[in-house]
Chain A
């Protein structure tokens, strides 16, 4: 019995891909099959986007596409032309993100940190959509982002705190620091 594909793959051409990432359009030359996650990480050096499965399950590769959490491992970079892509690097100055970072830090909502960028972006989209601050709702919204270390509890608490601040009308969603 002979295993292995006999189908010969021929050299493929790189194509120009113009990506709007974090508000700037950048052109890269890559084969069409390159995943957005790989182009962000290996061509644009945006390594806050992590890759944990390439099966669409773990959420480590979460980016915002037009403001909505999306798996960058299930999107070809070429197909992402024309979409507004936001990675964690692009929102570091956003006060709502800073409030989340601060809350994650104080609540010990991260251990190895590998899931953290994806969690933060999902949480940021929740803050922007003003998701209700109930623990069950938060868990539901975060259910597509796996974390193997924390058991989620302190992530839920951190996100709840920021959502509550938003509820109270604090513009940055920033809770008063102790």
Chain B
């Protein structure tokens, strides 16, 4: 299990980085916690690796009190997300979810941007972004564009990211009136989820967002009170398998419970 050869690049500016992304068979290297195992297996064999870990300004966690908005750089490590005071204050549900990713050593290296770009259907963060209604900033040589999380994820390990695009930041507007709950079912600590869910309660409206159910995160809106019965129905189509359906339902119910009344 040794990776195939590649050329290593360490750009020092975002401009330099996105220019390099034009190279053939080029890949971004962030935390490497998904990419390097794939390379060790030779399931991924880029010819050029662009290491973005040394780009300035990509690891920030910033709170904009005027807009009520949290801005997270693509290089924010999972462990930072799980423990950062600003995240814990304004989006405790995100901090909680980040704490469920892998193990300490994985979280200390893996990045927010990497997890989103990788788009594992059973990963915590892509669904968190969909649930939170986040927007992603994508940079390329031709400039930058903003994409809603809901549009970003296309399916199993696929996103709208173009090959020469870099995800640089994430913005989340914090809705002070919402109450959040998170629940994940996994075989072991650190395993990818069998099913997981985020629940948001706003007055009588409930939004449920799942991961580990289907090829990409998805959200369903329900009215409080009808929750359980409606869930059954929604999940009939979402998961073909009895057990998967059950996990999806249980994760949602428990997340909802945690969101409180």
Contact = CB atoms under 8 A, between A and B. Distances in A.
Interface of A: 9-10, 12, 15, 31-33, 35, 38, 54-56, 59, 62, 65, 68-71, 73-76, 78-79, 81-82, 122, 140-141, 143-145
10 contacts: A32-B8, A33-B4, A54-B1, A59-B105, A71-B105, A75-B32, A76-B36, A79-B32, A140-B189, A143-B103
B36 A75 contact: yes
Contacts of A65: 108-109
A74 B109 contact: yes
B37 interface: yes
A54 B190 CA distance: 17
B190 A9 contact: no
Contacts of A56: 33, 36-37, 106
Q: Which of B2, B5, B33, B189 has the most CB atoms of chain A within a 10 A radius of its CB?
A: B5
Given A33-B3, A70-B105, A74-B109, A55 B37 contact: yes
Contact of A141 (B29, B54, B104, B106): B104
A143 B105 contact: no
Q: Which 9 A-B pairs have the closest CB atoms?
A: A144-B103, A32-B8, A12-B5, A74-B36, A143-B189, A68-B108, A69-B105, A54-B1, A78-B8
Interface string B71-94: 000000001000000000000000
Interface in B40-91: 40-41, 49, 51, 53-54, 79
A140 to B, nearest CB: 6
B146 interface: no
B80 to A, nearest CB: 11
A82 B8 CA distance: 15
B32 A9 contact: no
Contacts of B188: 143
Interface string B6-21: 1110100000000000
B40 A55 contact: yes
Contacts, number: 90
A79 B29 contact: yes
A143 B103 CA distance: 7
Nearest to A5: B42
Interface residues of B, number: 31
Contacts of B4: 9, 33
A9 B2 CA distance: 13
B102 interface: yes
B105 A144 contact: yes
Given A55-B40, A56-B33, A73-B40, A144 B8 contact: no
B109 A71 contact: yes
Contacts of B79: 68
Given A143-B190, A144-B190, A62 B105 contact: yes
A59 B189 CA distance: 14
Nearest to B45: A7
B120 to A, nearest CB: 14
Contact of A9 (B1, B5, B10, B102): B5
B28 to A, nearest CB: 12
Contacts of A38: 2
Contacts of B2: 33, 35, 38, 54
A118 B8 CA distance: 28
Nearest to A78: B8
B51 A122 contact: no
Contacts of B102: 144
Contacts of B32: 74-76, 79
B244 to A, nearest CB: 24
Contacts of A35: 2-3, 36, 40
B119 to A, nearest CB: 18
B82 to A, nearest CB: 12
Contacts of B108: 65, 68-70
